[in-house]
Amino acid sequence: MKNRKLVMIPGPTPVARSIQDQMGRETVAFGDPDFVKDLKEVVNDLKEIFRTKGEAFVVAGTGTLAMEMGIANVVKEGDNVLVISHGYFGDRYAEICQRKGLNVDVLSSEWGTIVPVEEIEKKLSEKNYKAVTVTHVDTSTGVCAPVAEIGEVVKKYEDTVLVVDGVCATAAEPEYLDEMGIDVLITGSQKAFGVAPGLAIVLAGPKALERRKSLGTIREYYIDFEKWIPIMNDPSKYFGTPAVNMIWALQESLRLIKDEGVENRYKRHIKVARAMQAALEALGFKILAEKDHRAVTLSNVLYMDGIEDAEFRKVLAEEGVVVAGGLGAYAGKMFRLGHMGNIDTHYLVSTISAIERTLYRLGKKDVLGKGVKVLTEELAK
Ligand SMILES: Cc1ncc(COP(=O)(O)O)c(C=O)c1O
């Protein structure tokens, strides 16, 4: 019998049955009073969980649309923007900003490391930046940016808005907008929320909303905060058709998050990540990200000598686990393993065990049980 495939890529992540059920419901009119209530609840929950007095937006689209929405509402052509890049998705933000005709400076780090906060502080003291963007967890490197520290620095600059890409972090890494100085948080449904791909989620704090107002009419239409604010406040109004079933799915995901307790969820992610990373190291792999800046949502795992990427991932898929390949210069040199969202111990043990069986089939005969032992011990702590 063929193994069932566990999707352990860094998004989309496994979708819990109760969330799937929401996607399978019969679609209702978007003006249906029950749906209007549901969307309002989703918006309120997002503001409450991520702690902002500002606004929350949920629109059909992916994380990249959310990136565009995040920046388009807080700057205008010719403004100075500082992009902090810890990898592929930081570079993507730089490209988006360049296409918008912004005056972009990029601070990037070697893959696996972070840009020191002092460097960001120095840059901010040299020029008037209207916005700073940072990727909370860059999925290409598995590096987690010190967003709270960056927020403290940016807060000192009244004219500078901090935009955080939380696509691979939100609902797994703490993100409290107003306390942490995050003015815009952009994210997507398919990673730590554990919903299928299809929703772009954006939260904007008071400073970002003030900025939006000051810009007047912006060029963008679908992603204009001002077009959506009336709808998010009163979903019985129409601007663009809401993704009814996806919004129900997100509502269920938020229910699961509230049920677990968001702080508990953050703690669980730390525990899971450290256990998975210790297990992978026990099997002889190395993790790309420096220890102090490792994400809790995924691990970017460097192959040991003698293991070839395409063959490893093919055999691993036969053993029942799908992981993602490396990006950029790390294509062929590493795999990316997601461990975020609504996954339980079964997923973790099965994943490490499948990795052991794969290595065994590829000639590493001394690995069986080693990773699972470390994983189980770490999880039991
Ligand atoms: C950190 C980060 N930002 C942005 C994106 C883009 O999101 P999407 O692929 O949903 O457009 C991704 C996708 O993996 C990501 O990991």
Q: Domain coordinates of the chain in residue numbers?
A: 6-13+261-380, 17-260
65 CA from centroid of ligand 1 (Å): 9
Percent above pLDDT 90 for the chain: 99
Angle between helices 345-361 and 262-282 (to 10 degrees): 20
pLDDT at 365: 96
**Is the shortest distance between the CB of 13 and ligand 1 below 6 Å?**
no
pLDDT of 257 strictly over 90: yes
Protein residue with its CA nearest to atom 15 in ligand 1: 167
Q: Hey, which of 59, 141, 167, 298 would you mutate to test ligand 1's pocket, going by the most ligand atoms within 8 Å of its Cβ?
A: 167
**Is the shortest distance between the CB of 198 and ligand 1 below 6 Å?**
no
**Is the shortest distance between the CB of 188 and ligand 1 below 6 Å?**
yes
Write out pLDDT tens, residues 193-248: 999 999 999 999 999 999 999 999 999 999 999 999 999 999 999 999 999 999 99
Report which of 174, 142, 152, 147 is spatially closest to residue 163, judged by C-alpha positions: 147
**Is the shortest distance between the CB of 167 and ligand 1 below 6 Å?**
yes
Write out pLDDT tens, residues 351-360: 999 999 999 9
Indicate the pairing of strand 131-135 with strand 80-85: parallel
pLDDT at 1: 85
User: What's the mean pLDDT in 35-64?
Assistant: 98
pTM, 2 dp = 0.98
Q: Cα separation of 222 and 186, whole Å?
A: 15
328 CA from centroid of ligand 1 (Å): 15
Write out pLDDT tens, residues 330-341: 999 999 999 999
The residue with tokens 């299928």 is: 196
Q: Cα separation of 253 and 62, whole Å?
A: 17
* Structure confidence at residue 304 as a pLDDT band (50, 70, 90): very high
Q: What CATH number does domain 6-13+261-380 carry, 3.40.50.2000, 3.90.1150.10, 3.40.605.10, 3.30.365.10?
A: 3.90.1150.10
**Is the shortest distance between the CB of 135 and ligand 1 below 6 Å?**
yes
**Is the shortest distance between the CB of 338 and ligand 1 below 6 Å?**
no
DSSP string, 289-351: S-GGGB-SSEEEEEPPTT--HHHHHHHHHHTTEE-EEP-GGGTTTEEEEE--SS--HHHHHHH
Write out pLDDT tens, residues 95-154: 999 999 999 999 999 999 999 999 999 999 999 999 999 999 999 999 999 999 999 999
**Is the shortest distance between the CB of 186 and ligand 1 below 6 Å?**
no
pLDDT of 175 strictly over 90: yes
- Supply the mean pLDDT for the chain: 98
pLDDT of 91 strictly over 90: yes
**Is the shortest distance between the CB of 63 and ligand 1 below 6 Å?**
yes
Instruction: Read off the DSSP letter of residue 62.
Output: -
Dihedral-angle region of residue 369 (phi above 0 means left; psi in -120 to 50 means alpha; beta otherwise): left
Q: Hey, which of 7, 64, 111 would you mutate to test ligand 1's pocket, going by the most ligand atoms within 8 Å of its Cβ?
A: 64
Q: What CATH number does domain 17-260 carry, 3.40.50.300, 3.40.640.10, 3.90.25.10, 3.40.50.1100?
A: 3.40.640.10
